[in-house]
Amino acid sequence: MKEKVHIFFRKHGIETPEIMYVVRSDRKTVVHLEDGRTEESYIALKDIVSVLPEDEFLHINKGTVVSKRHIIGVEKGIYLMSDGTSFQGRMRTPGEHTRNGMMVSSFRDRRKTLYTDRPAECFTIMDQLPLAFMVIELVHEDAETMRLYIRFCNREAGKVLGVDPGLVVDEPLRKIFPFISNNLVIKIGDIAANGGCKDMVVRDSRIRSDLFVRCFQTRMDFCAVAITDMETVRDADRI
């Protein structure tokens, strides 16, 4: 049966590191991938699981297997994934989810390369950059809670976002920007955790203007955020 699974993977171009989660739905097994694709098969979930690395995936309920690297947080038995999807873990074993949260933190710690004790010092060269630039860290506060903290904010970001750069460093992102959308928070957390680069247009209701936001991972659990207004993008010289 493993060979059948491998054939299915090869046919659909499925690489194990690209799998976010696998679910059983309508008598089919559905594999969800990082690039947004979903591939379906009548192969049993347990057979798909048999070829996945045990230390990288969790079987959280009867019909759901999730990748540890794509778990943003585990809270009260609910697993929040990097694409915004959430799954209810087994109801009868609440202690299992606390242990899984700790396991995920340990898994991520093994992959993490830390900055110095003062991350802001790594980016002082960016302070004079004529472009709003911030660095956000995804912090694992305990087995079930993750939070985003501002680790650097340059002067231009202070002007664009209306904050004092010296007062926002090491503060929770939500505390400084309570109006930030859940979707953007999830995107930043996903990039900090899993890497990549994403461009977004975000509506700033305070100044009634659209902002162009580019997010990219600088180190494990750190996401850099570059911000400019859409007028600047539209007025840029085309070469």
- Which helix H or strand E contains 97, and what residues bound it? helix 94-111
Cβ contacts of 29 within 8 Å, gap of 6 or more = 22, 23, 40, 41, 42, 43, 44, 45, 48
In the prediction, which pLDDT does 210 show? 80
pLDDT at site 132: 92
9, pLDDT greater than 70: yes
What are the CA-CA distances from residue 60 to residues 30, 64, 97, 181 (Å)? 16, 6, 8, 28
CATH number of 119-235: 3.30.450.20
What are the domain boundaries of the chain? 2-111, 119-235
Whether 68 and 81 have beta carbons less than 8 Å apart is answered as no
- % of the chain with per-residue pLDDT over 70: 79
Q: What is the pLDDT of residue 116?
A: 45
pLDDT at 155 over 80: yes
In the prediction, which pLDDT does 143 show? 56
pLDDT band at 238 (very low <50, low <70, confident <90, very high): low
Is residue 136 predicted with pLDDT exceeding 50? yes
Fold of 2-111: OB fold (Dihydrolipoamide Acetyltransferase, E2P) (2.40.50)
Q: Which two tokens stand for residue 159?
A: 């002007």
Average pLDDT over residues 213-228: 89
For 185, the token pair is 């928070």
Q: pTM for the complete prediction?
A: 0.53
For residue 141, report the phi and psi dihedrals to the nearest 5 degrees.
-75, -35
pLDDT on residue 113: 44
Residues 6+ apart with CB under 8 A from 183: 84
